[in-house]
Structure 1
């Protein structure tokens, strides 16, 4: 009897703890690129724009049953975070006739940290030779922050009201930097030349984080970037003839992964310093590298196909080792997805499957892939 009472007390405690963490945030505001975009890219350029394949099947097939503007077969990390906090999935900030009182997603596929006017074909497979190319992206983090500023009057009526409103919100500065480095690498720059931009890109992300703190944010999650050398698209587009350029334990491109690690190390260090200047603010560094490199090193351990699931994309018509081909990209006529996306890490050559995003989200929410975890004490 005592054992049953103790179990009930523990259960009630855990339930109340879970509820208190969910009730801690009344809204979510998110920024980033295609790892976070829930529809802004499609709204920005129009759903029928030639070459914009992210609005065509089989995108969205797993959870939604149709394309939603997300570059995956289903939900993204930001979707799982919203669900864990008991909040609705974030609407794209460019949506019309939409309430944003419980949050908004300002992320746009192809967005960069720095200002740029190019969208690299390697990270938009639909920009294929011979095919209709999507419009160039010229959306940067500063543009997304501008949209946020423009939305403020509809959310709170005074600086003090905004401080109170945003003080109860969770802010997520999603993956940024991948497209900046991608523009350079596809443009012919070396990894070393791209790496020279890391301090500037990191400084831009940290400055945006500080701006949000000054706007009233007291809880911010900032994401690092994934191992660029493990993306099937990069393994095809930036392939090397030298076997020493590949990591023996993962098969990923070593130089590109070193670039990702340099970015993440500098970002994590800068966020720690920023947190020291704002002791009342909870700044979480969300690690996107560690989970994805772990998937590549031991896919079966995480439920992925040990033979194909790590570095071969699910949706593509390339065949071969990585199943990636710019002329047969996901969303193009006749290009099908694999039968079971849940056993694949990568969806379309760059972006992850819902299954992979779910594991990443769990690691951010409860650990070990976030410092401190979003649901941590």
Structure 2
């Protein structure tokens, strides 16, 4: 007796088979949308963040360091979070806005990934960090250590979603860097007012370490890199105040630091072009932060600020003495009434409003400030 004959001759068997068929269809209907939604969420490009205090979301809260390299007290965070997160600003930073524009959640600190999802990216940045291990050694997470932490995340990602999907996430992800500033600033915090090596050699060391880190990420599957060039550090309130303190050496001090910044900003695009030639599939975009930062200092009203030379929070000339917050052992410091009037929040770092404007230019700016891609097209670009 065949199967069809059995079915036709036994109504109970027929009903049982139909029941199983309906269950199968029902499960398929519910399963398909779940799979589709999961796939859509994971196809969104992730954001991995590296660098210094311009990008640090609070990583330095978790390391053994000094208050000079932390911002986890009031009034930091006053404008947006309403509590200090460890960000060196009154609110959000560039990576926070980029995540919003890319429809991503806030990218978690490396030290918080055990509590949060990290398939959308991780932030490794550390206030005070440089490309060189020697820069503020022992107090910050230097760029090579940030690469080491990234490799740890890659291992966790493979365990979480599997080798195939982790490879796709890493190749589609965007890797953004703000690095180098502290390498040039640190030597001038001493009385020597000079770098420990000849300028050209010092630049090559910094670029060499940066190149090594980019290649390390590329080896793990990264393909899309975003670099910020150096701000005009000689125009920061802290450097302006320091300049006044140096007395007869004023001119030499400003010339020296300006020369180093110009050398770095000239060398950065050349380095990136070389990597593009050497590494198949390597893509980069460079944000001219120097240009937009200079413009906002020179024309504050164009950017909606009343002042661009004096910090909102600090003491001394230009409020340039780095004393924003009680934990820096200064009982009294000045705080402006409306932070939105100020380009600078403290003596080194921009306000949230400034960061937002820079993030908008990075996201959707013209080739004179971000090239060869703006970041919006970078997120839309699949590898």
- Is TM-score (shorter-chain normalized) higher than 0.5? yes
Closer/same/farther in 2, CA of residues 268 and 23 from structure 1, 3 Å limit: farther
Instruction: Measure the CA separation in 2 of the matches of 1:140 and 1:151.
Output: 17
Further displaced range: 284-293 or 328-337:
328-337
Further displaced range: 280-289 or 227-236:
280-289
Closer/same/farther in 2, CA of residues 193 and 311 from structure 1, 3 Å limit: farther
User: Which residue is equivalent to 1:219?
Assistant: 224
Cα displacement string for residues 187-242 of structure 1 (whole angstroms, at most 9, x for unaligned residues): 32426957331121012112211221221112111222211101111111233657
Task: Indicate whether 1:375 and 2:370 are aligned.
Answer: no
Instruction: Measure the CA separation in 2 of the matches of 1:161 and 1:364.
Output: 28
User: Which residue is equivalent to 1:184?
Assistant: 187
8 Å contact from structure 2 (residues 58, 72) kept in 1: no
8 Å contact from structure 1 (residues 330, 336) kept in 2: no
Supply the RMSD in Å over aligned alpha carbons.
2.7
8 Å contact from structure 2 (residues 324, 333) kept in 1: yes
**TM-superposed deviation, 1:351:** 0.9
Task: Indicate whether 1:201 and 2:199 are aligned.
Answer: no
Closer/same/farther in 2, CA of residues 339 and 194 from structure 1, 3 Å limit: farther
Task: Indicate whether 1:54 and 2:78 are aligned.
Answer: no
Give 1:73-152 correspondences, 5 Å limit.
73-95=90-112, 96-116=114-134, 118=136, 136-152=138-154
Match of 1:172, SS state, is strand
**TM-superposed deviation, 1:159:** 5.5
**TM-superposed deviation, 1:104:** 0.6
1:36 to 33, 41, 55: 55
**TM-superposed deviation, 1:141:** 0.6
User: Which residue is equivalent to 1:66?
Assistant: 83
> How many corresponding residue pairs?
326
User: Which residue is equivalent to 1:165?
Assistant: 169
Give 1:340-355 correspondences, 5 Å limit.
340-355=338-353
8 Å contact from structure 1 (residues 30, 172) kept in 2: yes
8 Å contact from structure 2 (residues 70, 127) kept in 1: no
**TM-superposed deviation, 1:53:** 5.6
8 Å contact from structure 1 (residues 181, 194) kept in 2: no
Closer/same/farther in 2, CA of residues 23 and 362 from structure 1, 3 Å limit: farther
Unpaired runs of 5+ residues, structure 2, are: 1-40, 379-383
Instruction: Measure the CA separation in 1 of the matches of 2:341 and 2:77.
Output: 16
Q: Which structure has more helix as a fraction of its residues?
A: 2
8 Å contact from structure 1 (residues 23, 85) kept in 2: no
Instruction: Measure the CA separation in 2 of the matches of 1:352 and 1:313.
Output: 9
2:315 to 308, 314, 317: 317
User: Which residue is equivalent to 1:230?
Assistant: 235
Further displaced range: 218-227 or 151-160:
151-160
Match of 1:103, SS state, is coil
User: Which residue is equivalent to 1:14?
Assistant: none
Closer/same/farther in 2, CA of residues 50 and 211 from structure 1, 3 Å limit: closer
**TM-superposed deviation, 1:38:** 0.2
8 Å contact from structure 2 (residues 151, 220) kept in 1: no
Instruction: Measure the CA separation in 2 of the matches of 1:24 and 1:258.
Output: 43
User: Which residue is equivalent to 2:282?
Assistant: 281
**TM-superposed deviation, 1:52:** 6.5
Instruction: Measure the CA separation in 2 of the matches of 1:168 and 1:193.
Output: 39
Runs of 4+ in 1 over 6 A off after TM superposition: 49-52
User: Which residue is equivalent to 2:364?
Assistant: 366
Give 1:331-342 correspondences, 5 Å limit.
331=326, 332-342=330-340
**TM-superposed deviation, 1:352:** 0.9
Give 1:226-265 correspondences, 5 Å limit.
226-239=231-244, 241=247, 245=251, 253-265=254-266
User: Which residue is equivalent to 2:45?
Assistant: 26
Instruction: Measure the CA separation in 1 of the matches of 2:72 and 2:142.
Output: 21
